[in-house]
C-alpha cells in the first residue's frame, strides 16, 4: 500500500476514482445534498492553490481557516499543502479574543472565514492584528462592512485561480513537499491558560494512514462517513485525512444542530463522535421505554437484556452463546434492533469511533447490546488522535482498547501515560519551554492522563492535574463520578466540586424538559425554571437518583450537596471550551456564590 503525501493524495485519488463521489454537502437553498466528484475536488484544490500564489502565499507560511464544516475548508487545506504551506484551523465558535491570539501567534496574513459570525468576529482584527492582510469569505450571503475594502468572497478567489496562472509554481512546490514539512498547527482549546499550537507534520499523518490500515481492517472505499465533529478537532481532522486516503465518501454536516436529520438522510457507515452523542441516544431510548406500555415495553426491555447477554456476556468474552439465546437475539436483530438503528439512521453501520471523553459503562453496554459497532478509543491533539482503540468484539468494558501498531506507550511516575512514536507531535509552535515540559529527554510525551494496562488493554483513571484533594486529605477523581452520573436521563451536565473542600458537592444542569414533565405529572406548581428547581420535590427527585448511582463510590467520594442550575453552561461565558470541555476554574469563579452557599454549614 502506498502512502501519498497530503500535497498529492487528492490528485492520486482523482486518477483512481475519476467522477466517483468524493464529498457531499447539504445545499440549504435547494434543501438537497450535492455531490462533488474526485475530479472536481482535485480541480478545485488546484484552482485555489493557484489563487493563493496570486495572493502572494509563500512556502511554509501559515494560512488560517475560521469556519464551520464546509467543503471549502478541505479545498483550502489541500491547496495550502500543495503550496507547502501550513493550515491552521480555528473553531467556528472562537471568540474575537481567541481568534486574535491565534492570528498573532501564527502570524496569519490570509484568513478564510465561513459565515456572518466568523466574518463579524474577524473584521476588526484587520486593524488589531499586525500581520493580517485579507479575509476570504466562504458564504456569499455574508454582508460585508461598508468600510471593508480588502475582503473578498471565495467565488472571487476561484476566479483568480481559474486559468491556473501559477500552475508551474504550484507544481514545483508539490515536488519539493516532504514528510518533514509542517502540515497543521492545531490550537488546543485550553481548559486552563492560553492555547498552545500543536505542530503536526505530514510524517504524523502518513504514519496515521499506515497504522490505521493495519488496525481498521473493515474500512474500505465503499464506506460513507458522516462528518459531524468540527474539522478543527484533531479527531475529525485526522479522520477526514484518513477517509480521503482510503477513498471514503465524506458527507459534510454544516450545522451541528442538524446532525440528527443529516444522519437519517445520509445513513452513514462510519461516523466519529464524542460520548455525548451516544448519551443522548441512550437517554432517548430510555425515555421511549418509559413512555411505552404493555407488550411493547416488555419486548424493548427484553431485547436489551438479550442483547447484553449475547454480545456482552458471551461474544465479548470469546464464548459461544447458547442456541436459544442466539435465536432470540437474531429475532430481535431483525425487529427491535433494526428499528432502533433505522430510527437513528445508523442501520448501515460499519463502525463508529468514539473518543474525547470517557464512555460511561452503561452507554457502552447498551450500544454494543443492540448491535451498533461503536469503538472506544483514546488520543490527543499531540498524538494525531488515535493512541489506542477497542477494535473487535472481545474488549474489556471501561478500557480504551489496545495500543495502535508501533505507537509506544508506557506507564510512568504517578501512573502517567507516556507516548512515543511517529504520530506524536514534535512540540508546541513557538513554545520551546512548554515543549520541554511535555517531551522529556528520551522523547516521551507526558500526557497528564493516569492509566494502567490489563490483559493488553489500556485503561484511563483520571487527569492527573484534575485530581482534587479535599481539605481532609482525600483524593477525588471528578471524572469518574461525573461519568457515572451523567447517564441519568434527568442530568444533562454535571460538574464536581471538591478541591480543598471538606466534602464533595456538584453543580447540575438538569434535563429541563424532563423536569417539567415530572412537575406536570406530580402537579407541582411553579412560575419558571428557577422557581421549579428550588422545589423540595425536585431536589428530592435528584437526591434519590444521585444516591442510587453513586453507591459504588466510597463515602468520601460521594456527593453530599448539589445545586440545580436554571441555565446551561456556555461558551459565551467562558465556561466551556470549543470542544465542549468544562473549564473548571471559570465554573468555580462564575458560580462562586452558589458553591460557597453549599459549604456554609459545617455539619456534613
Q: Where do we find the cell 456569499?
A: 140
- The total number of structural domains in the chain stands at 3
Indicate if 369 and 245 belong to the same structural domain.
no
Q: 468 or 120: which carries more pLDDT confidence?
A: 120
Range of the domain at 248: 9-177+216-253
User: DSSP character for 273?
Assistant: B
CB 61 within 8 A of CB 134: no
Amino acid 189: pLDDT: 63
Amino acid 601: pLDDT: 63
Amino acid 36: pLDDT: 98
Indicate if 294 and 242 belong to the same structural domain.
no
CB 86 within 8 A of CB 133: no
User: DSSP character for 439?
Assistant: B
CB 205 within 8 A of CB 6: yes
Mean pLDDT over the full length of the chain: 93
Q: Which residues partner with 386 through β-bridges?
A: 379
Q: Which residues partner with 420 through β-bridges?
A: 408
Give the span between the Cα atoms of 89 and 342, in whole angstroms. 34
- Confidence label for 502 from pLDDT (cuts 50, 70 and 90): confident
Indicate if 244 and 155 belong to the same structural domain.
yes
Amino acid 222: pLDDT: 98
In a domain, 565, yes or no: yes
Amino acid 584: pLDDT: 86
Indicate if 493 and 344 belong to the same structural domain.
no
Contacts of 490 (CB under 8 A, 6+ apart): 510, 511, 514, 515, 518, 541, 542, 545
Beta strands of 381-429 (E only): which ranges? 385-389, 402-403, 408-411, 416-420
In a domain, 198, yes or no: no
Indicate if 249 and 293 belong to the same structural domain.
no
CATH number of the domain encompassing residue 21: 3.40.50.12780
Indicate if 371 and 312 belong to the same structural domain.
yes
User: DSSP character for 554?
Assistant: -
Amino acid 168: pLDDT: 98
Indicate if 239 and 322 belong to the same structural domain.
no
Please state the rounded mean pLDDT for residues 171-194.
87
- Confidence label for 93 from pLDDT (cuts 50, 70 and 90): confident
How many percent of the chain have pLDDT more than 70? Answer: 97
CB 379 within 8 A of CB 387: yes
- Confidence label for 195 from pLDDT (cuts 50, 70 and 90): confident
In a domain, 51, yes or no: yes
Q: 463 or 162: which carries more pLDDT confidence?
A: 162
Contacts of 273 (CB under 8 A, 6+ apart): 228, 229, 352, 353, 354
**Starting from the edge strand earliest in sequence, which strands make up the sheet with 197-201, in order?**
152-153, 134-137, 110-113, 62-66, 86-90, 182-187, 197-201
- Confidence label for 1 from pLDDT (cuts 50, 70 and 90): low
In a domain, 100, yes or no: yes
In a domain, 418, yes or no: no
Indicate if 488 and 569 belong to the same structural domain.
yes
CATH number of the domain encompassing residue 551: 3.30.300.30
Give the span between the Cα atoms of 66 and 441, in whole angstroms. 36
User: DSSP character for 144?
Assistant: P
Segment among 75-89, 262-276, 578-592 with least mean pLDDT:
578-592
Please state the rounded mean pLDDT for residues 299-326.
94
Contacts of 303 (CB under 8 A, 6+ apart): 332, 335, 336, 337, 370
Amino acid 480: pLDDT: 81
Amino acid 498: pLDDT: 86
Contacts of 509 (CB under 8 A, 6+ apart): 491, 492, 493, 494, 565, 567, 568, 569
- pLDDT (tens digit, 9 = 90+) per residue, 553-590? 878 889 999 999 999 998 888 888 777 788 888 898 99
Indicate if 279 and 242 belong to the same structural domain.
no
Measured in residues, the chain has a length of 604
Whether the pLDDT of residue 603 is over 60: the answer is no
Between helix 167-176 and helix 38-55 the angle, nearest 10°, is 100
Whether the pLDDT of residue 201 is over 50: the answer is yes
Indicate if 134 and 153 belong to the same structural domain.
yes
Report the predicted TM-score, pTM, of the whole model to 2 decimal places.
0.84
Indicate if 398 and 491 belong to the same structural domain.
no
How many percent of the chain have pLDDT more than 90? Answer: 77
Indicate if 170 and 285 belong to the same structural domain.
no
Please state the rounded mean pLDDT for residues 50-60.
98
- Confidence label for 473 from pLDDT (cuts 50, 70 and 90): low
Segment among 340-354, 437-451, 457-471, 509-523 with least mean pLDDT:
457-471
In a domain, 93, yes or no: yes
* Cell, residue 24: 457531499
In a domain, 154, yes or no: yes
Q: Tally helices (H) and strands (E) across the chain.
A: 23, 25
Whether the pLDDT of residue 192 is over 70: the answer is no
Amino acid 71: pLDDT: 98
Segment among 160-164, 329-333, 356-360, 591-595 with least mean pLDDT:
356-360
Q: 467 or 313: which carries more pLDDT confidence?
A: 313
Q: Where do we find the cell 416488555?
A: 298
Exposed (0-12), middle (13-18) or buried (19+): which is 237, by Cβ within 10 Å?
buried
Count of CB atoms situated within 10 Å of the CB of 572: 8
* Cell, residue 381: 491533539
In a domain, 227, yes or no: yes
Amino acid 604: pLDDT: 42
- pLDDT (tens digit, 9 = 90+) per residue, 387-434? 999 988 778 899 999 999 999 999 999 899 999 999 999 999 999 999
Please state the rounded mean pLDDT for residues 176-187.
97
Amino acid at each position: 500500500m502506498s502512502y501519498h503525501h497530503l500535497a498529492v493524495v487528492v490528485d492520486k485519488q482523482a486518477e483512481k476514482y475519476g467522477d466517483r463521489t468524493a464529498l457531499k454537502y447539504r445545499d440549504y437553498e435547494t434543501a438537497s445534498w450535492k455531490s462533488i466528484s474526485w475530479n472536481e475536488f482535485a480541480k478545485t484544490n488546484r484552482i485555489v492553490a493557484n489563487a493563493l500564489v496570486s495572493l502572494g502565499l509563500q512556502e511554509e507560511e501559515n494560512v488560517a481557516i475560521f469556519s464551520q464544516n464546509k467543503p471549502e475548508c478541505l479545498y483550502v487545506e489541500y491547496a495550502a499543502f500543495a503550496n507547502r504551506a501550513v493550515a491552521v484551523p480555528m473553531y467556528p465558535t472562537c471568540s474575537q479574543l481567541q481568534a486574535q491570539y491565534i492570528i498573532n501567534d501564527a502570524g496569519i496574513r490570509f484568513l478564510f472565514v465561513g459565515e456572518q459570525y466568523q466574518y463579524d468576529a474577524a473584521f476588526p482584527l484587520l486593524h488589531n492584528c499586525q500581520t493580517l492582510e485579507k479575509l476570504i469569505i466562504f458564504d456569499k450571503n455574508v454582508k460585508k462592512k461598508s468600510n471593508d475594502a480588502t475582503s473578498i468572497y471565495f467565488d472571487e478567489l476561484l476566479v483568480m485561480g481559474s486559468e491556473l496562472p501559477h500552475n508551474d509554481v504550484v507544481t514545483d512546490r508539490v515536488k519539493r513537499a516532504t514528510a518533514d514539512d509542517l502540515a497543521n498547527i492545531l490550537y488546543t482549546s485550553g481548559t486552563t491558560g492560553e492555547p498552545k499550537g500543536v505542530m503536526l507534520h505530514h510524517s504524523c499523518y502518513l504514519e496515521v494512514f499506515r497504522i490505521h490500515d493495519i488496525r481498521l481492517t473493515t474500512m474500505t472505499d465503499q464506506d460513507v462517513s458522516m462528518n459531524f465533529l468540527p474539522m478543527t478537532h484533531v479527531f475529525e481532522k485526522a479522520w477526514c485525512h484518513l477517509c480521503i486516503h482510503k477513498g471514503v465518501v465524506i458527507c459534510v454536516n454544516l450545522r451541528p444542530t442538524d446532525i440528527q436529520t443529516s444522519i437519517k438522510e445520509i445513513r452513514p457507515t462510519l461516523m466519529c463522535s464524542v460520548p455525548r452523542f451516544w448519551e443522548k441516544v441512550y437517554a432517548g431510548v430510555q425515555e421511549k421505554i418509559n413512555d411505552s406500555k404493555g407488550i411493547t415495553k416488555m419486548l424493548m426491555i427484553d431485547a436489551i437484556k438479550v442483547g447484553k447477554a449475547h454480545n456482552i456476556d458471551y461474544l465479548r468474552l470469546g464464548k459461544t452463546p447458547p442456541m436459544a439465546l442466539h435465536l432470540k437475539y437474531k429475532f430481535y436483530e431483525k425487529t427491535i434492533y433494526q428499528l432502533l438503528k433505522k430510527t437513528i439512521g445508523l442501520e448501515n453501520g460499519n463502525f463508529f469511533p468514539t473518543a474525547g471523553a470517557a464512555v460511561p459503562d452503561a452507554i457502552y453496554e447498551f450500544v454494543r447490546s443492540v448491535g451498533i459497532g461503536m469503538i472506544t478509543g483514546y488520543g490527543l491533539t499531540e498524538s494525531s488522535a488515535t493512541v489506542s482503540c477497542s477494535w473487535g468484539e472481545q474488549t474489556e468494558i471501561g478500557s480504551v482498547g489496545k495500543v495502535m501498531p508501533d505507537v509506544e506507550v508506557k506507564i510512568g511516575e504517578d501512573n502517567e501515560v507516556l507516548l512515543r512514536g511517529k504520530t506524536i507531535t514534535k512540540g508546541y509552535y513557538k513554545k520551546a519551554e512548554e515543549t520541554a515540559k511535555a517531551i522529556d529527554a528520551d522523547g516521551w510525551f507526558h500526557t497528564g492522563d493516569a492509566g494502567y494496562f490489563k490483559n493488553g488493554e489500556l485503561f484511563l483513571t483520571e487527569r492527573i492535574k484534575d485530581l482534587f484533594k479535599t481539605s481532609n486529605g482525600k483524593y477525588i477523581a471528578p471524572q469518574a463520578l461525573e461519568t457515572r452520573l451523567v447517564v441519568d436521563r434527568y442530568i444533562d451536565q454535571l460538574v464536581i466540586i471538591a478541591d480543598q473542600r471538606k466534602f464533595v458537592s456538584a453543580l447540575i444542569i438538569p434535563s429541563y424538559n424532563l423536569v417539567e414533565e415530572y412537575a406536570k405529572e406530580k402537579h407541582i406548581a411553579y412560575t419558571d425554571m428557577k422557581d421549579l428547581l428550588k422545589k423540595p420535590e425536585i431536589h428530592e427527585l435528584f437526591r434519590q437518583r444521585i444516591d442510587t448511582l453513586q453507591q459504588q463510590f466510597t463515602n468520601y467520594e460521594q456527593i453530599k450537596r448539589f445545586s440545580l442550575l436554571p441555565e446551561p453552561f456556555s461558551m459565551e461565558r467562558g465556561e466551556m471550551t470549543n470542544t465542549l470541555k468544562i473549564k473548571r476554574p471559570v465554573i468555580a469563579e462564575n458560580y462562586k456564590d452558589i458553591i460557597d452557599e453549599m459549604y456554609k454549614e459545617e455539619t456534613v
